[in-house]
Copies of this chain bind each other. A is one copy, B any other.
Amino acid sequence: MEPKQKNGKHEQIMSAAIRVFAEKGYFQSTIAQIARAAGVADGTIYLYFKNKEDIMAQFVNQQSKKFFDTFTSMFEGKQSAIERLKALIRLHFQVSQEDRYVALVYQVEMRRSDRLMKEDIKDALRMYHDLVGQIVEEGQQEGAIRHDVQIGLVKRMIFATVDEVITSWVMAGGKYDLEPLAEPLANLLLQGIQATPTA
């Protein structure tokens, strides 16, 4: 039924690549290392990927699609903006927790490639931003979010903070549990840190 390949060579190579990228960094990784990690010959990689860059591109595409599909199917028009925001953060944490290699590449390696790689990669980040932006706007319409904040800054704050928390976790070796941080982080982002709620 799989229209792509009989055996999971494609998946096999990609996941090996992600592991290698995670360990060495994208530019430091060699095709030979990926091939060995995947248990295939160097040349075989070129049967499934146009070139080294394409491995990263396909990974980002696939990963993004999966993420947004999950998110969409989970929350399509159901909850309040605040609830959806919390859910988004929680999903992001869950996904990262599930596969640290994926998270590492997604959080760290992918970033550096922004300006250097194809548009595909930028798109994934843009979609995330847009999603957050959408939620915030809806939140404002629902009256749950203040109107005197710059939406651009809010988007960035949320995106960056979630991102950073995951990256810290990834870089620390994934030693602690990520998901329990979702709730307090969401609250923090929403409520701010000041003692006296602005007059």
Residues in A lying within 8 Å of B, measured CB to CB: 24-25, 27-28, 82, 108-109, 111-112, 114-116, 136, 139, 143-147, 149-150, 153-154, 156-157, 159-161, 163-165, 168, 171, 181, 184-185, 187-198
Q: Are B184 and A190 in contact (CB under 8 A)?
A: no
Q: Are A144 and B194 in contact (CB under 8 A)?
A: yes
A189 to chain B, nearest CB (A): 7
A190 vs B195: C-alpha distance in the bound complex, in angstroms?
9
A-B contact pairs, 23 of them (CB 8 A): A24-B116, A25-B112, A25-B115, A27-B28, A108-B111, A108-B115, A111-B111, A111-B112, A144-B194, A144-B196, A146-B194, A149-B184, A149-B193, A153-B165, A156-B164, A157-B157, A157-B164, A157-B185, A160-B161, A163-B164, A187-B198, A190-B194, A192-B192
A195 vs B198: C-alpha distance in the bound complex, in angstroms?
11
Q: Are A157 and B189 in contact (CB under 8 A)?
A: yes
Partner of A164 from B114, B116, B159 at Cβ < 8 Å: B159
